[in-house]
Structure 1
Amino acid sequence: MNPVLAPAASAPLIRREVAGLPGYDPGADPDEVAALSGSGRVIKLSNNESPFGVSPTVAEAVREAVTSGVSRYPDPMGKRLTEAVGESLDVPADRVVLGNGSENILELLCQAVLDPGDLVVTQAPGFALHETFPRVMGARVHKVPVTAEFGFDADAWRDALAAGPKLVFLANPCNPTGAMLDAGELAQIVAALPESSLLVLDEAYGEFARTNPAYPDGLEALRGLNRPWIVLRTFSKAYGLAGVRVGYGIASDTALVQALDRVRTPYNVNQPAQAAAIAALADRTHLADTVRRTALEIARVADRLREAGLRVVPSSTNFLFIDTGRRSDEVAQALHRAGVIVKAWREPGYETYIRASLSTPGDNDVFVRCLTEICAKDKT
């Protein structure tokens, strides 16, 4: 018989930085929502996944990798994938680093760079892990707010950067708002950066934004700068590979890649993921089709929600940030009862907002109908 362990026996061992962290919110469990709603089908709009699947070439690459490769460890350096990424972007392969999703590279950067007490600057509202990973390392985090119209606040950024942060996490486009910085705004941030700061430009949703002529290609903007930077991208969003977890970074120099290699686990990107990413990178037609269909739905759904009287932040991504005018967790619970999952935003100042990634037109119509009915009911 196993002994009964005291539930708090390990509590004194946990670092205080870790003990005070909030847990990551992945959104509601689909099985629980199905049981709550009594619906056999749940519409999941909480994780910014692609509803359009992967291309046939990606599916075949994964099948082959599973059949022939899962009994062996993957290439720890991901040589074929880093070469494919390097060739597609005209950068040397030794300046490409791979991660188990781009968020893994965020974690590696914090492990490799931050000391306790270091300052990190990021956005508000923003991606939770841009704050969580630095806090794990004992760093201080300053969040630069957007303007009342969710725009770029140049003065606030200049003030924050003047404090000399060691790391700067900048998402373009931004999660959760979907808003983007144009070339001039990005240039202002770069110009204000101290030479000792490492700029981390997170372009997880960049494929969706590149259809906008005003969107700056971060790699091209930073390529010639003699200062430390890294651009992060992922196959989880527009490429539809969220389930296999593979992201990558393009760094200013090989020394930064080598530092990240020292702190990452040796086999952090599995073999099916590497094979899928290589195939996805080569299928530009499927990527373009996904981006086109997503843009059509973003525009259509945003227009319908605005017509219903809701505030919707203009989005350059595959999701919408929506002010419901009431507590977001209550709205999310009401949607769960209808079989729809969204992300209730709880960041201070934005507790009435939900984030909803878009799905197929039929699913999106259900979401719009349910959300507008819930909000209309609250007004009566």
Structure 2
Amino acid sequence: MNHALAPAASAALIRAEVAGLPRYDPGADPDEVAALGGVRRVIKLSNSESPYGVSPAVAAAVRRGLAGGVARYPDPTGKRLTEAIGRSLDVPAGRVVLGNGSENLLELLCRAVLDPGDLVVTQAPGFSLHETFPRVMGARVEKVPVTAEFGFDAAAWRDALAAGPKLVFLANPCNPTGTTLTSGELARVVADTPASALLVLDEAYGEFARADPEYPDGLEALRALDRPWIVLRTFSKAYGLAGLRVGYGIASDTTLVQALDQVRTPYNVNQPAQDAAVAALGDHAHLADTVRRTRLEISRVTDRLRGAGLCVVPSSANFLFIDTGCRSDRVAQQLHRAGIIVKAWREPGYETYIRASLSTPEDNDVFVRCLTEICAKDTA
């Protein structure tokens, strides 16, 4: 006879910080959406994945790696990849740290730095894991809201930073809005951040923004600072390696890298991911083409949605933050019936917004048509 343990027995073991955490929302399951809508092909716009795939050089590198076998553990130091990143950015390889996606590095930073009761400052609306990982460690999180126009609120940031945070998470471009800080705004955050705090600049979507002359290179902005900092980047977005999970950080000093190495699992980045990232880093043409095509679609789809009367936040990333004027979860469910997956935003104050990462022009046209029809019916 199978005797199941009463749930209360396990629940009693779980730390209060963990029990109260919201679940991460990865978006709806494509198979379930296909069944719901009776469609053969689902348009997935929920996870900021590149519709243009990986470069041929990456595909060849992965094939070579698989042909060599996967029975052995990956290089735990990621030597070849950290050296390639170091050369590309003119930093010592010893100041580069790898993660199973850049979100793994967010988690490691919280593990290495935070004690219960420490203060963390981040953005609102913002990436949920900037709040979740600190809360796992028992830290307090203060979220600094954007202005009514989704701009940077310098006074609010100054007040929040004056409270003495131990860790500061700042995304540029911001997820979910796609907005960016200018060089001057980033400089103000840097100047207002206490020297005792670790400043974490999350540039997961930076490749899409660098064509904008107003967008600051975070590494260049922080490079000369005599205080702790780390810039996080990833191969998941513009490089198209989301399924392989490889991100990296460039740190102010080797002591910070060594601390992250001490709290990570020994083999946190698999070998095919390391090989693919080295190849991706060298294929500048594929990256440039992906960014160019993405920015064209961002501009085109923004214009079409605004022409239909929807409020769309100006975006320098590969996604759009759209005010549907209705409950976002309801809009998302109606899109599911059309075979389209977006992310309904549930952060307080933004419950009418959806975030949609763009796909090919053909998919985007289907999305625009369905969304505008849904919103027109709901507001009629």
- The answer to whether the Cα contact below 8 Å between 1:232 and 1:247 also exists between their aligned partners in 2 is yes
The residue type equivalent to 1:45 in the other structure is L
Between the aligned partners of 2:178 and 2:211, the Cα distance in structure 1 is: 14
**Structure 2 residue 97 is matched with structure 1 residue 111:** no
1:185 aligns with 2:185: yes
Residue 339 of structure 1 corresponds to which residue in structure 2?
339
2:78 maps to amino acid: G
Aligned to 2:144: 144
Q: Deviations over 1:236-274 (max 9, x none)?
A: 000000000000000000000000000000000000000
- For residue 351 of structure 1, what is the amino acid of its counterpart? E
**SS of the residue 1:269 aligns to:** coil
* Secondary structure of 2:302's aligned partner: helix
| Structure 2 residue 132 is matched with structure 1 residue 132 | yes
Determine the C-alpha separation between the residues in 1 that align with 2:368 and 2:199. Answer: 38
Question: Structure 2-normalised TM-score?
Answer: 0.99
Q: Distance in 2 between matches of 1:63 and 1:208?
A: 28
- Structure 2: 5+ residue runs without aligned partners? none
Distance 1:89 1:69, change over 3 A: farther
- Checking the alignment, whether the CA contact within 8 Å between 1:69 and 1:271 is kept in structure 2 is no
> Distance between the aligned counterparts of 1:63 and 1:15, measured in 2?
43
CA distances 1:133-184 after superposition (whole Å, capped 9, x unpaired): 0000000000000000000000000000000100000000000000000000
Alignment of structure 1 residues 186-265 onto 2, 5 Å: 186-265=186-265
The 8 Å contact of residues 325 and 379 in structure 2, kept in 1 or not, is answered as no
| Displacement after TM superposition at 1:26 (Å) | 0.2
Give the Cα–Cα distance (whole angstroms) in 1 for the partners of residues 363 and 5 of structure 2: 46
Query: Aligned equivalents of 2:228 and 2:92: distance in 1?
Result: 16
What is the SS of the residue equivalent to 2:161? helix
Q: What CA distance in whole angstroms lies between the structure 2 residues aligned with 1:45 and 1:216?
A: 27
Letter aligned with residue 271 of structure 1: Q
Aligned 8 A contact 2:43 2:363 in 1: yes
Tell me, in whole angstroms, the C-alpha distance in 1 between the residues paired with 2:139 and 2:207. 31
Q: Which amino acid aligns with 1:107?
A: E
Partner of 2:329: 329
- The code of the aligned residue for 1:337 comes to R
1:114 and 1:67 mapped to 2: Cα distance?
42
Q: What does residue 363 of structure 1 align with?
A: 363
Name the CA distance, whole Å, in 2 between partners of 1:125 and 1:8. 34
Matched with 1:155 is 155
Tell me by how many angstroms 1:379 deviates.
2.3
What is the DSSP-based 3-state SS (H/G/I as helix, E as strand, rest coil) of the residue aligned with 1:122?
Answer: strand
Bigger CA drift: 295-304 or 60-69? 60-69
2:340 partner amino acid = V
Give SS of 2:356's match: strand
CA distance in 1, matches of 2:193, 2:225: 12
CA distance in 1, matches of 2:2, 2:69: 38
Q: What does residue range 16-31 of structure 1 map to in structure 2 within 5 Å?
A: 16-31=16-31
1:169–1:201 CA contact under 8 A, matched in 2:
yes
1:278 and 2:296 are equivalent in the alignment: no
Partner of 2:7, secondary structure, is coil
Preserved CA contact (<8 Å) 1:123 1:143: yes
Aligned to 1:44: 44
Q: Conserved in 1, the CA contact under 8 Å of 2:345 and 2:353?
A: yes
Aligned residues: 380
Say whether the 8 Å CA contact 2:110–2:137 is kept in structure 1.
yes
Structure 1 letter corresponding to 2:344: A
C-alpha distance in 2 between matches for 1:354 and 1:108:
29
One-letter amino acid matched to 2:164: G
- The code of the aligned residue for 1:31 comes to D
Q: Do structure 1's residue 3 and structure 2's residue 3 form an aligned pair?
A: yes
Report the Cα offset of residue 69 of structure 1: 3.8
Tell me the CA shift for residue 66 of structure 1: 1.5
Residue of structure 2 equivalent to 1:319: 319
Secondary structure at the residue paired with 1:9?
Answer: helix
Alignment RMSD (CA, Å): 0.6
Distance 2:298 2:197 in 1: 35
Kindly provide the amino acid, as one letter, of the partner of residue 11 in structure 2.
A
Check whether the contact 1:200–1:229 (CA below 8 A) recurs between aligned residues: yes
Q: Secondary structure at the match of 1:224?
A: coil
Determine if contact 1:118/1:165 at 8 Å carries over to the other structure: yes
The 2-side partners of 1:68 and 1:103 are apart by 29
CA distance in 2, matches of 1:379, 1:17: 40
Amino acid at match of 2:100: N
Which position in structure 1 is the counterpart of 2:89? 89
Corresponding position of 1:34? 34
1:33–1:337 contact (8 Å) kept in structure 2? yes
Q: Which runs of no fewer than 5 residues in structure 1 stay unpaired?
A: none
TM-score (norm 1): 0.99
SS at match of 2:322: strand
